[in-house]
Amino acid sequence: MRAPPPRPRCRYQPTRACVVSLAHLDGADHSLDHWAAALALSRRSLQRLARRDTGQSWTTWMRDLRLARAIAPLMAGKSVQHAAHAAGYATASGFVAAFQAAHGITPGQLQRRIES
């Protein structure tokens, strides 16, 4: 008696590393729909994947990735406006609000801590 043939694996088995690398491509901030299409997944499947692999919702995870892009310019002493632009924010005030909500301090306070 022969064993049944193995089930083919899904052509796209995205991993956290795959999704993270896509999210950091050229600093572009694309929508959930864009990334789902790029990975040949449904929106909901990508949301579940993000939750499973990061422990965060898609929205929170993307916000954290965007904010992470601002850390290097801030540590290099660049302006908050420059860091906001690097993180993909249209305004410095929106960036400051998101940064403070996520980290409990403003970008300026972070810079002062780094300097001292």
Where does the pLDDT of residue 15 fall: very low under 50, low under 70, confident under 90, or very high at 90 and above? low
* Residue 9 confidence (pLDDT): 42
For residue range 63-111, list pLDDT tens digits in order.
888 888 899 999 999 999 999 998 889 999 999 999 999 999 999 999 9
Lookup: tokens for 39: 């990975």
Tell whether the model's pLDDT for residue 37 goes beyond 60: yes
Distant-in-sequence, close-in-space partners of 58: CB < 8 Å, separation ≥ 6: 32, 46, 47, 50, 51
* Residue 46 confidence (pLDDT): 87
Instruction: Report, as an integer, the average pLDDT of 34-56.
Output: 85
* Residue 51 confidence (pLDDT): 87
State which H helix or E strand residue 44 sits in: helix 43-54
Instruction: Report, as an integer, the average pLDDT of 35-57.
Output: 86
pTM comes to 0.70
Place of tokens 């999210």: 23
Tell whether the model's pLDDT for residue 14 goes beyond 70: no
Lookup: tokens for 112: 């002062």
What proportion of the chain, given as a percentage, has pLDDT over 70?
75
